[in-house]
Structures are given as structure tokens and as C-alpha cells.
Amino acid sequence: MELLRLLISEALKGSVSEADDLLGPPTRIAATLGIQEFVTEVIKSYPGTVWLRNMNGQNIFHLAVKHRQEKIFNLLYQMGTHNLFATSLVDDFGNNMLHLAGKLEPSNKISGAALQMQRELQWFKEVEKVVQPSYKDMKNKIGKVRGRSLLRSTRI
């Protein structure tokens, strides 16, 4: 963590753009891998990190949902009123968090089809709790698939 604090300190000495460039990529990697301590430390020192996006327009919360990283996803609850904005963001493909939650996780992470389906449905319902009601039936740009129907179509 000391190395991380040094990185943050150095990044914050530069411009906002430099801080974004230095802190954005490793924070997105940490979110993808579920390294909560890393993500929390960066957000605490540089809150703007939560709004930084990757080349597909996905922020740390999109990545957390996509890669089933509950600890990172749960940081949304600490954002207060900002979480409404964070949950309303869509990526460059028009995917909101439900579209990402509705995509089937690779089967190598969870053994047993029934257990996997149960876990995926639980994850979808958890994400559904924080997404605005109008986003539950929102279509994306690719295939114009809704979050709920995507969940159904990837199960069969």
C-alpha cells in the first residue's frame, strides 16, 4: 500500500489529465480483479477516478458488474447521491449495468450449471436494485437487447 500511496502522491502533483492517465488504468485493473483496498485508497485520494472510463466507455462500476466483483460494486453504496449518476452511465455500446450483469459469466468460475444460474440471477437482482427503473428495459446499441431479456437469452 505504501507504493500505491507514493503513486497517488506523484500523480496528484501533476495536472488533472496526468492524474487521470496515471491512476485510471491501474484502478480499472484493480476493479476488474476485485482489489478493493487499491480502489478504495485511490478513490479516497482522488474521487474523480470513479468517473474515468476505459476505451469502451466503462468505469470501475461497469467493470465490477461485468466481472462480478461484489466488493467493488458495493462501493456504490458509499457514494451517497452520486451513486444515482454512477448507475445511470452507459458504455460506448449503450450497455447499462443491467446489460453487463445479464451476460453469462464464463462457466470456469463456478462449477455446476444450476449453481451458476442461481448465482447469476442473484447478481442480476443485486445490480437491478441500484439501477433506475427506466433502465430495466433499456435497449443497447448492439442487437438492441434489454438487460432482462439478455439474462434469459444467455441461459438457454
Parse the chain into domains and list their residue ranges. 1-135
Q: What is the pLDDT of residues 98-116, one digit of tens each?
A: 889 888 766 555 567 777 7
- Flag whether pLDDT at 156 surpasses 50: no
d(CA 86, CA 51): 8
* Residues, the chain: 156
pLDDT tens, residue by residue, 39-76: 999 999 999 999 999 999 999 999 999 999 999 999 99
Query: 1-135 has which fold?
Result: 1.25.40
Q: What is the pLDDT of residue 155?
A: 47
With a CB cutoff of 8 Å and minimum separation 6, the contacts of 72 are 31, 34, 36, 39, 60, 61, 63, 64
- Residue 145's pLDDT is 63
Give the H or E element holding residue 116. Answer: helix 113-130
124-155 confidence digits (pLDDT tens): 888 988 888 888 778 888 766 666 555 555 54
